[in-house]
């Protein structure tokens, strides 16, 4: 089961903090993170990797990006 974190319209560090909170919840499955800036995309990716997670996909999504994070 996947979980979605919608951080569109929020400036850093909010997207990173929301993603880290979801990672720490420890639920199985993928985390889908929606962001709308290049900076948020890069910062969320780095934060996920720092928690031993892997960003398995990044796709354009409207005016932003859709990141898929897998817990490893």
Question: What is the pLDDT, as a whole number, of residue 28?
Answer: 80
Average pLDDT, stretch 12-40?
94
Q: What predicted TM-score, i.e. pTM, was given to this entire model?
A: 0.94
Mean pLDDT of 3-28: 94
Question: Do residues 28 and 1 make contact, with C-beta atoms less than 8 angstroms apart?
Answer: yes
How confident is the model over 41-45, as a mean pLDDT?
98
Instruction: Supply the pLDDT for residue 72.
Output: 72
Question: What does the alpha-carbon distance between residue 44 and residue 35 come to, in Å, rounded to a whole number?
Answer: 9
Instruction: Report all structural domains of the chain as residue ranges with CATH numbers, in order of start.
Output: 3-71 (3.30.110.40)
Report the run of H or E that residue 2 belongs to, with start and end. Answer: none
Greater confidence, 13 or 1?
A: 13
Cα–Cα distance measured from residue 34 to residue 58, given in angstroms and rounded to the nearest whole number: 10
CA-derived radius of gyration, the chain:
11
Tell me the pLDDT of the chain averaged across its residues.
Answer: 95
């Amino acid at each position: 089961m996947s979980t979605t974190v919608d951080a569109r319209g929020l400036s850093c560090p909010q997207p990173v903090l929301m993603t880290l909170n979801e990672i720490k919840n420890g639920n199985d499955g993928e985390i889908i993170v929606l962001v709308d800036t290049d900076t948020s995309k890069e910062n969320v990716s780095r934060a996920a990797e720092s928690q031993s997670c892997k960003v398995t996909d990044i796709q354009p999504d409207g005016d932003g990006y859709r990141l898929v994070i897998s817990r490893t």
